[in-house]
Amino acid sequence: MISDSARISLVVNGDDFGRSPGLTRGIVECFDRGILTSASLMTLWPSSSLAAEAAHRRPDLGVGLHVDLGEWTLSGGSWRCTYLRVDLEDEKQVAAEVERQLRAFRRLLHRDPTHLDSHQHVHRGEPLRSILVSLSASLGVPLRHEAIGVRYCGEFFGQTNGGDHRPEALSVEALVGILVGLPPGTTELACHPGYAIDLVTDYRSQRELEIRALCDPVVRAAVQALEIELCSFQRLAKATA
């Protein structure tokens, strides 16, 4: 039996849940057939309700709030904003938008989120960081990059910071390598599986590669052989309550 100090717990979290029907379908497939245990819901898109319905049918799927303030894409070597919901430097606007998205989450799921994070990690900057740190404390749920005792792993991603594709990072072998290297304790492995045929995005073919790896029997076998506990933030909260 593995001691508590040596135990490895892994939350496999799919971002962009509800962004489109294709992304939602991919995340659900990875939960049903693969190692995905958790998802982060974007609450203001037409497919948000579709994702919520899928989550209602899967009570073991942890669902957090993916705060969505805007998106940026690389164009000609420079980052270009494709949409922006509020002025990111205006604290009142940002706080109001977070509250609006939290209300939408509660309306869709009829409960609070299991965790908090943000689209394209916008909460690494202020004022959103402080707003979400406060919200995390009031809800009693973890915030990505800020939660004590939860290590974040973003290695399973098929694109460089410069926008170049890295399909080799999404292979079964690469994913097994990440699993082998997990330290004791709790890790969140971020992923972005989905079918992006209904979405304009630079990260398209990579999403289907993620589905293949996350659902591959070799990966499941590695999880079992390494005695990794797959869990959601929801299950972690229950275990520590």
| 3-class DSSP state of 72 | strand
**Which one, of 91, 16, 79, 3, lies nearest residue 50 by Cα?**
16
Q: Look up residue 81 and give its two tokens.
A: 């904003």
Determine the straight-line distance between the first and last CA of the chain, rounded to whole angstroms. 23
Catalytic residue IDs = 15
Burial 11-42 (b: 16+ CB within 10 A, else e): bbbbbbbbbbbbbbbbbbbbbeebbbbbbbbb
